Amino acid sequence: MLDALLGFMIANPATSHALTALPETAGVAAAMIGLRAPRPEATAALVVSTYYFGREAGQREHDIKHAGWDAVQAHLGAEFLYGWSLPNLQQWLAPTCAAWAIAGAMILLRLRSVRGR
């Protein structure tokens, strides 16, 4: 079973990123709720989205440098999505959408629990 799960995650990186973004977002939000941070769900979604953006931008920058671009051009290209491949974009957008969806669900749950009191 573990082999099948690993095979699925390797074959579908955008989906596996989205699935791992769900508990990451919930965990960061739960920690921030415990610390009484303002807007913990939205901040958690932003943190997770930024993490995945950095992950994909770093990979893209590395690939662009090996394609012959100089370091500054590669960095700017990676930061501003220039030269990104569709898989890189999907592997950033899928977890970003998942993170914001879980943040929205957590906000709705908190609002309903406050109204129920």
Percentage above 90 pLDDT, the chain:
72
Q: Rounded to an integer, what distance in angstroms lies between the CA atom of residue 111 and that of residue 3?
A: 40
Query: Using DSSP, how many helices (H) and how many strands (E) does the chain show?
Result: 5, 0
State pLDDT tens for residues 14-36. Answer: 999 999 999 999 999 999 999 99
The position carrying tokens 């914001």 is 100
Q: What is the pTM of this model?
A: 0.85
